[in-house]
């Protein structure tokens, strides 16, 4: 709240959203639908042609960001279900898991260590529920890429 006029505090939109469970749930539903429809729109033509798409940052990332930005204490089960239901279903999905310190070294300007640790917990929590396979991201890049490429090849030819 900020002081306004005769000393009365005013509420910012985020304050109202955070204080009201109903407003929070409705707002996050709108965000989830918009994100899922954007994913569908950006992939539709490619999928119709039968193209193979590789996406960085997809449904798991969107679900984590909903929880991180709008209240990690809230589950947002319905909104995450909407994301999953409305977004195109991937054949394979991976979480390349690295320590928060590794992520911070790669992009120190984006998040601090505390924020990265909170997000890492959310990623771990949501990965299994969304059918995302967790792979160790601290190992040699060549090994990681070879493993994922082999699985993708088998899945595409199954």
Q: What is the 3-state secondary structure (H, E, C) of the chain?
A: CEEECCCEEECCHHHHHHHCHHHHHHHHHHHHHHHHHHHHHHHHHHHHCCCCCCCCCCHHHHHHHHHHHHCCCCCCHHHHHHHHHHCCCCCCCEEEECCHHHHHHHCCCCCCHHHHHHHHHHHHHHHCCCCCEEEECCCCHHHHHHHHHHHHHHHHCC
pLDDT digit string (tens) for 27-86? Answer: 999 999 999 999 999 999 999 999 988 888 889 999 999 999 998 788 999 999 999 999
Report the mean per-residue pLDDT for the chain.
Answer: 90
pTM: 0.84
pLDDT of residue 156 exceeding 90, the answer is yes
pLDDT confidence bin for 131, thresholds 50/70/90 = very high
């Amino acid at each position: 709240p900020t002081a306004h006029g005769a000393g009365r505090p005013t509420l910012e939109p985020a304050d109202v959203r955070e204080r009201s469970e109903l407003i929070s749930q409705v707002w996050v539903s709108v965000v989830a639908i918009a994100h899922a429809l954007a994913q569908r729109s950006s992939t539709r033509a490619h999928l119709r042609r039968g193209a193979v798409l590789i996406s960085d940052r997809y449904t798991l990332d969107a679900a984590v960001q909903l929880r991180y930005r709008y209240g990690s204490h809230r589950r947002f089960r319905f909104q995450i279900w909407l994301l999953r239901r409305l977004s195109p279903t991937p054949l394979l999905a991976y979480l390349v898991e690295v320590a928060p310190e590794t992520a911070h070294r790669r992009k120190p300007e984006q998040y601090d260590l505390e924020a990265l640790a909170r997000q890492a917990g959310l990623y771990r929590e949501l990965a299994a529920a969304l059918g995302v396979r967790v792979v160790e991201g601290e190992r040699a890049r060549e090994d990681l890429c070879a493993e994922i490429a082999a699985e993708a090849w088998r899945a595409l030819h199954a």
